[in-house]
Amino acid sequence: MGSLSQLKASFESFTLDFKRPSGTSRGVLTQKKGWKLKLTNSEGTKGLGECSIIPGLSPDYTSDEEYEQKLNEVCQNPARFIENKDLLLDYPSILFGLESAYSDLLNGGKGIYFESAKAPSGFLIPINGLIWMGDPGYMQDQIEEKLEAGFSCIKLKVGAIDFKQELKLLEGIRSRYDASKIVLRVDANGAFKMDDAIWKLEELAQLDLHSIEQPIKAGSWNDMEILCEKTPLPIALDEELIGINELDRKIELLETIKPQYIILKPSLHGGFSGSKEWIGLAEERQIPWWITSALESNIGLNAIAQFTADYNPVLPQGLGTGGLYETNFEAPLKIEKGNLLYLK
């Protein structure tokens, strides 16, 4: 493959349009920006990765100008950052793109990032169907779509509309399907206040939900520790993990809060190397986990799917975002009956 020092790198930005505006706790998204990162070796083989950000959530993004300044720095000497990943600890989305591109390059530049993609028949990953925030009618329409498409795990974003209306939507599903037929997850994205979090968790727990993601805003470890101790509903942390990059801080977080689950997004949680470290620490403490994409294009989603499949997951993962966009890059991925398929 030639030496690392001979690697050349380049990047280019792209923008994807959502098929329809998608509501989150950080507002409504209509477009998604990202950057392709390419590595080329001395023989001309190219590896492709994606640097994917979500404004207001990604810790390494403040503006396009500053972000591209860092990308330029990486592209001037990619070997330095490949050999010293700690230099990108504060830039998880760039590390994710660089690790993806390098892994693709090592595997011949054919879009193969991890061992799972080498299986003769491809692979299958159970995933949840995601219901975006919006008015009750729109959310109900999405629920019907997911049920008709064969999903057995559905995740609703909560915290944007009236809580009673959100409960009503969940009750509607539960009245038709018990927990053995449909697994229900909710994601509050930190929308609950500590003062009313417990009673809301108690209300939700009566509906036999699987878990709730990030009930209160990240950063209040003491409050989150209390919630995780008292909760009648399992709590999964994701935003809470953002920016926690050093090994001892990761251990401190897990041992202080003691969450029931953690959720990993490689673009936000330290690329693949950082996510691997979180998984190892969680498993040592018997904390289950799952992996979620963070609105990447099919380039990033393909790499994340292969990474996830290497672990042979049983829990449904959050990898169903590839169909959100009007146009997307080619990838051997397909969603069928609540599973993400990697097709050879």
Residue 23: the pLDDT is 67
Q: Extract the tokens encoding 329.
A: 């890059």
Which amino acid is present at 267?
S
Cα–Cα distance measured from residue 300 to residue 34, given in angstroms and rounded to the nearest whole number = 10
Among 36, 38, 155, 265, which one carries the catalytic annotation? 265
Residue 89: the pLDDT is 96
Residue 50: the pLDDT is 98
Residue 25: the pLDDT is 60
Kindly give the confidence (pLDDT) of every residue in the chain, 344 residues in length, as a single tens digit, with 9 standing for 90 and above.
557 889 999 999 999 999 988 766 667 889 999 999 999 999 999 999 999 999 999 999 999 999 999 999 999 999 999 999 999 999 999 999 999 999 999 999 999 999 999 999 999 999 999 988 778 898 899 999 999 999 999 999 888 778 999 999 999 999 999 999 999 999 999 999 999 999 999 999 999 999 999 999 999 999 999 999 999 999 999 999 999 999 999 999 999 999 999 999 999 999 999 999 999 999 999 999 999 999 999 999 999 999 999 999 999 999 987 888 999 999 999 999 999 999 98
Cα–Cα distance measured from residue 265 to residue 303, given in angstroms and rounded to the nearest whole number = 12
8 A C-beta contact, residue 308 and residue 288? no
The 8 Å CB, 24+ separation contacts for 68-72 are 68/11, 68/13, 68/35, 70/94, 71/11, 71/35, 71/37
In 3D, which of 111, 126, 177 has the Cα closest to residue 314?
Answer: 126
Residue 232: the pLDDT is 97
Cα–Cα distance measured from residue 210 to residue 298, given in angstroms and rounded to the nearest whole number = 28
Q: Global pTM?
A: 0.95
Q: Would residue 118 show up in a list of annotated catalytic residues for this protein?
A: no
Residue 5: the pLDDT is 82
In 3D, which of 264, 266, 242 has the Cα closest to residue 98?
Answer: 266
Look-up of token digits 């990943």: 85
Cα–Cα distance measured from residue 261 to residue 291, given in angstroms and rounded to the nearest whole number = 11
Distances (CA, A) of 211 to 158, 188, 202, 293: 12, 11, 12, 18
In 3D, which of 125, 107, 127 has the Cα closest to residue 115?
Answer: 107
List, in order of start, the domains of the chain with CATH numbers: 4-111 (3.30.390.10), 116-342 (3.20.20.120)
In 3D, which of 151, 147, 199 has the Cα closest to residue 176?
Answer: 147
Look-up of token digits 């590839």: 322
Q: Would residue 181 show up in a list of annotated catalytic residues for this protein?
A: no
In 3D, which of 89, 93, 120 has the Cα closest to residue 32?
Answer: 93
β-pairing, 123-126 vs 129-131, is unpaired
Residue 171 forms beta bridges with which residues?
A: none
Among 36, 157, 217, 250, which one carries the catalytic annotation? 157
Residue 72: the pLDDT is 98
